[in-house]
């Protein structure tokens, strides 16, 4: 539909200001500001109400005020709820990376609220589908999302960030829609939304489980890829961002208060329960894809500025992400876009931290990963962002992209080495004992040299990308046929083990062993130094049927099944998390010293015969069992008031051996008596209904195959100060 320019409908236009970028309603009118250094003209497009066909009338306003490549105007008559976009005029020269095409309605990169979706009509593409060098002149407005002027007022009340110290954190990675869509206690019209995440049924589950933070898979506005839409699938995970300021509109409540306010209500509700909100953010690429992708926003606004182009072939993009493009971290306005976005989510949406997808891509100023890149320098000095939780996925798909242990001091990292080591250990791989010891104690070999602490390591065994914990012990091979890619997608080397049968089985011995292995792995995870991260649904026994790349499944493959909860395993997880919270020896702020403190070592490792491990013992390739004593009297870091932290002393035994072991407890200098708290072979052990067995120093324990046991020292006389609860 052509633009309507009737004088009676023409809005008043004032000069406005170049800052802030985006559409900013100040209570009287709205300031619009858009950066483009390559535009020759910019039109602000105000969209009217949609008719029955979904089309909207459009009023175009030429922006004549330009300061520092920022095109701006103030419209005193524009209020929240106004739909808008931009049309940018300029050079059309795809060979030089210039794709300006004013027939395409472009999304404001700073839009606080976004409505609509991409319907993948030919008009969504800047070029003629039969000749890429020729522009497509069809109007894209009816086929693409657009911005909505948003009222930023919200009654936060007494909301305060929980500010859980990192060493006390237990992170729960989950998906807004997948976690809530089938929950029977959530009203049907709320399921799959931010409001569902705020529902008491979900919050009660999280509180009972004991997690301190939810790490939400992408909630920035994203689109569903063309190749998935043609196969009836969706980009369920959401790693296809098109708007860095708007909560994804697909998770809003129908006929509700809008996705911006829904999101804020969710954050406020989680904070009321003491649970932090961490966002999984995708600043490494956008949904516009390769040079053959759609024109939705940045490509049409300023392709040279926003994306990394091949130096001698600027039609094409440098792609460090495997998604078609990479944002240009060398450009100041790209850095500003990201930092403005991060600050917005902290200051205006009250989130508590970020997990950066493919974070190595953010460190590529030239081609190599540079830990001193401008992005990390800016984050370091920013008074807002430097104070929240910063977690890197420390790899991308480019050369040299695997950067575990190499991020700046204030950052934590997903520790992929931990994941691989623990999977290998529990499936019985040889020569993993020394590696197991490093990972269990916080991976000091990766993080200690740079003044970082054990909290630099985000420990995980499963995450959204790969098998669930149930599938990890049930499948040797991925089963991704339903993804429609002939099994080519997803990781092929999963370090998994089906324990004798591929997939579900009625064999009671295999079923019991699989359950025990899940208990072994979650016990190791929750008692390791560092920060544990659980994959949401693992505590329930969730399965994806062996699919290890369910990114495209908005269906039963990905949704939590609340009707099939493994109650015994859920209770095991709850007990272990509570145990970790109760005992600071398992979540030390500082590294083990490995030396004598107050007459006894802070920790020591043991062989099955009760003798301390020697250097040579660690190198025995056949060894698959180890014990460790953690001395609660020797925690070296004080609490926030300078008082000494004192805990009980524990012994943990981990045996991946396929045979029963006669395990001798160490000599009495480590403790006279020990009581079992957890035994993965007998999960009822240590519960109120069945107190754990007590052993004397030097006793022999008949240790079942593939078992983990945790024991607490209960000597009758202890010269210890009373345990002081941590208040940090």
| Ramachandran angles phi, psi of 250, nearest 5° | -70, -10
CB 683 within 8 A of CB 572: yes
Total residues found in the chain within this entry: 728
Q: Is there a domain that residue 295 lies in?
A: no
Residues contacting 344, CB < 8 A, separation 6+:
112, 245
We report the CATH number of the domain holding residue 89 as 2.60.40.10
Average pLDDT over residues 466-471: 98
Q: Is residue 31 part of a domain?
A: yes
The residue that leads in pLDDT, 35 or 255, is: 35
Question: In terms of domains, do 561 and 690 share one?
Answer: no
Among 556, 584, 612, the domain-final residue is 584
| Average pLDDT along the chain | 92
Whether 322 is covered by a domain: the verdict is no
Output the pLDDT for position 717: 52
**pLDDT higher than 70, residue 637:** no
Paired tokens of 621: 């390739």
CATH number at residue 627: 2.60.40.1180
Please tell me whether residue 595 adopts helix, strand or coil conformation.
coil
pLDDT beyond 70 at 625: yes
- Say what the pTM is: 0.95
Which residue among 114, 148, 182 closes a domain? 148
Query: Does 533 share its domain with 662?
Result: no
* Tens of pLDDT, residues 170-226: 999 999 999 999 999 999 999 999 999 999 999 999 999 999 999 999 999 999 999
CA 197 to the chain's CA centroid = 16
- 408 and 272 within one domain: yes
Q: Give the whole-angstrom CA distance, residue 378 versus residue 285.
A: 19
311 located within any domain: no
Average pLDDT over residues 471-489: 95
What radius of gyration, in Å, describes the C-alpha atoms of the chain?
28
Would you state the pLDDT for residue 367?
Answer: 58
247-251, 401-405, 716-720 — which is least confidently predicted? 716-720
Q: Is 290 within the bounds of a domain?
A: no
Residue 258: name the closest of 143, 48, 117, 115 by CA: 115
Q: What is the mean pLDDT of residues 414-434?
A: 93
Which of 83, 114, 148 terminates a domain? The answer is 148
CA distances from 652 to 240, 268, 610 (A): 43, 39, 13
Over residues 524-548, the mean pLDDT reads: 98
The rounded distance, in Å, linking the Cα atoms of 161 and 159 is 7
In this prediction, residue 3 has a pLDDT band, given cuts at 50, 70 and 90, of low
Q: Looking at residue 223, what is its pLDDT?
A: 97
Q: How many domains does the chain have?
A: 3
| Same domain for 125 and 52 | yes
Position 277 scores a pLDDT of: 98
Output the pLDDT for position 401: 72
Residue 26 domain flag:
yes
How do residues 83-114 score in pLDDT, each as one tens digit? 999 999 999 999 999 999 999 999 999 999 99
433 and 518 fall within a common domain: yes
The pLDDT value recorded for residue 722 is 40
Q: What's the confidence (pLDDT) of residue 726?
A: 52
Question: Tell me, what's the pLDDT at 254?
Answer: 81
Point out the least confidently predicted range of 147-156, 349-358, 591-600.
591-600
Residues 335 and 427 occupy one common structural domain:
yes
At 279, list the tokens.
């966002």
Tell whether 68 and 195 lie within a shared domain: no
Residue found by looking up tokens 């991060």 in the block: 342
- Per-residue pLDDT, 366: 59
Domain that holds residue 691: 592-713
Q: What pLDDT does 371 receive? A: 62
* pLDDT value at residue 68: 97
Instruction: Kindly indicate the confidence band of residue 715, based on its pLDDT and cuts at 50, 70 and 90.
Output: confident
| Residues 560, 494 within the same domain | yes
Q: Which residues contact 705 (CB under 8 A, 6 or more apart)?
A: 655, 657, 658, 659, 660
Q: Lowest mean pLDDT: which of 7-16, 219-228, 408-417, 668-677?
A: 7-16
Kindly state the average pLDDT of the residues 573-577.
98
pLDDT of residue 378: 93
Point out the least confidently predicted range of 26-40, 105-119, 284-298, 712-726: 712-726
- Out of 2-16, 460-474, 564-578, 695-709, least confident range: 2-16
Tell me, what's the pLDDT at 309? 97
What confidence category does residue 723 fall into, taking pLDDT thresholds of 50, 70 and 90? Answer: very low
With respect to residue 724, please indicate whether it lies within any of the assigned structural domains: no
Same domain as 52, residue 36: yes
Distance from the Cα of residue 342 to its chain's centroid: 15
pLDDT of residue 615 exceeding 50: yes
pLDDT at 643: 72
E runs forming strands in 372-475 = 389-392, 412-414, 457-459
Least confident segment among 391-400, 449-458, 715-724? 715-724
**138 and 218 both lie in a single domain:** no
Q: Is residue 161 part of a domain?
A: no
* Rounded mean pLDDT, 627-643: 79
Average pLDDT (240-261) is 91
Contact 30, 108 (CB under 8 A): no
pLDDT at 51 over 90: no
Residues involved in catalysis: 357, 393
The CATH number covering residue 279 comes to 3.20.20.80
- Same domain? For 425 and 531 the reply is yes
Is residue 421 pLDDT above 80, yes or no?
yes
465 and 603 together in one domain:
no
Q: How confident is the model at residue 361 (pLDDT cuts 50, 70, 90)?
A: confident
Q: How confident is the model at residue 372 (pLDDT cuts 50, 70, 90)?
A: low
Closest CA to 632 of 678, 668, 584, 677: 584
């Amino acid at each position: 539909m052509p633009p309507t320019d009737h004088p009676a409908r023409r809005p008043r236009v004032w000069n406005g200001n170049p800052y802030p970028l985006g559409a900013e309603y100040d209570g009287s009118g709205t300031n619009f500001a858009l950066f483009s250094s390559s535009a020759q003209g910019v039109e602000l497009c105000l969209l009217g109400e949609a008719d029955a066909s979904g089309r909207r009338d459009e009023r175009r306003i030429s922006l004549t005020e330009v300061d520092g490549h920022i095109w701006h105007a103030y419209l005193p008559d524009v209020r929240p709820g106004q739909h808008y976009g931009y049309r940018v005029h300029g050079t059309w020269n795809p060979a030089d990376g210039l794709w300006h095409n004013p027939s395409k309605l472009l999304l404001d990169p700073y839009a606080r609220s976004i409505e609509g979706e991409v319907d993948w009509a030919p008009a969504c593409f800047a070029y003629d589908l039969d000749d890429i060098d020729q522009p497509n002149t069809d109007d894209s407005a009816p086929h693409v999302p657009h911005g909505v002027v948003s009222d930023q007022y919200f009654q936060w009340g007494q909301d305060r960030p929980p500010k859980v110290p990192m060493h006390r954190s237990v992170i729960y990675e989950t998906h807004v829609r997948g976690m809530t869509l089938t929950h029977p206690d959530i009203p049907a019209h709320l399921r799959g939304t931010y409001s569902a995440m705020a529902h008491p049924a979900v919050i009660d589950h999280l509180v009972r489980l004991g997690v301190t933070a939810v790490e939400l898979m992408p909630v920035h506005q994203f689109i569903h890829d063309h190749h998935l839409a043609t196969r009836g699938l969706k980009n369920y995970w959401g790693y296809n961002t098109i708007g860095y300021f708007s909560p994804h509109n697909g998770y809003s409540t129908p006929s509700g208060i809008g996705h911006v306010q829904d999101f804020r209500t969710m954050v406020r509700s989680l904070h009321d329960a003491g649970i932090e909100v961490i966002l999984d953010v995708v600043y490494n690429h956008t949904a516009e894809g390769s040079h053959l992708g759609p024109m939705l926003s940045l490509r049409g606004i300023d392709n040279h500025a926003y994306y990394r182009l091949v130096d001698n072939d600027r039609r094409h993009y440098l792609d460090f992400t495997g998604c078609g493009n990479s944002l240009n971290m060398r450009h100041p306005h790209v850095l500003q876009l990201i930092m403005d976005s991060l600050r917005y989510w902290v200051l205006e949406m009250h989130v508590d931290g970020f997990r950066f997808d493919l974070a190595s891509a953010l460190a590529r100023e030239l081609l190599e990963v540079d830990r001193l890149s401008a992005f990390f320098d800016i984050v370091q000095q920013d008074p807002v962002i430097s104070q929240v939780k910063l977690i890197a996925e420390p790899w991308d798909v480019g050369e040299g992209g695997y950067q575990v242990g190499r991020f700046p001091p204030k950052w934590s990292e997903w520790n992929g080495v931990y994941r691989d080591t623990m999977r290998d250990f529990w499936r019985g791989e040889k020569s993993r004992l020394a590696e197991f010891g490093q990972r269990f104690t916080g991976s000091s070999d990766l993080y200690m040299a740079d003044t970082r602490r054990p909290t630099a390591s985000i420990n995980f065994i499963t995450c959204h990308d790969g098998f669930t914990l149930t599938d990890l012990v049930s499948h040797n091979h991925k089963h991704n046929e339903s993804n429609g890619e002939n099994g080519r997608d997803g990781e092929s080397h999963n370090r998994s083990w089906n324990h004798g049968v591929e997939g579900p089985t009625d064999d009671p011995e295999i079923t019991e062993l699989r359950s025990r292995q899940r208990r072994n792995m979650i016990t190791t995870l929750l008692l390791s130094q560092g920060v544990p991260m659980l994959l949401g649904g693992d505590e329930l026994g969730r399965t994806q049927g062996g699919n290890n790349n369910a990114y495209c499944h908005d269906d039963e493959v990905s949704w939590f099944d609340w009707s099939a909860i493994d109650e015994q395993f859920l209770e095991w997880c709850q007990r272990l998390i509570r145990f970790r919270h109760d005992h600071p020896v398992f979540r030390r702020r500082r590294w083990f010293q490995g030396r004598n403190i107050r007459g006894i070592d802070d920790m020591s490792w043991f062989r099955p015969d009760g003798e301390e491990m020697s250097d040579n013992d660690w190198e025995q390739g056949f060894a698959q069992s180890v014990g460790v004593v953690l001395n609660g009297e020797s925690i070296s870091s004080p609490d926030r008031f300078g008082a000494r932290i004192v805990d009980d002393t524990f012994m943990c035994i981990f045996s991946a051996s396929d045979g029963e072991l006669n395990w001798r407890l160490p000599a009495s200098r480590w403790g006279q008596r020990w009581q079992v708290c957890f035994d993965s072979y007998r999960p009822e052990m240590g519960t109120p209904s069945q107190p754990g067995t007590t052993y004397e120093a030097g006793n022999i324990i008949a240790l079942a195959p593939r078992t983990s046991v945790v024991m607490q020292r209960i000597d009758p006389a202890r010269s210890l100060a009373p345990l002081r609860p941590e208040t940090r």
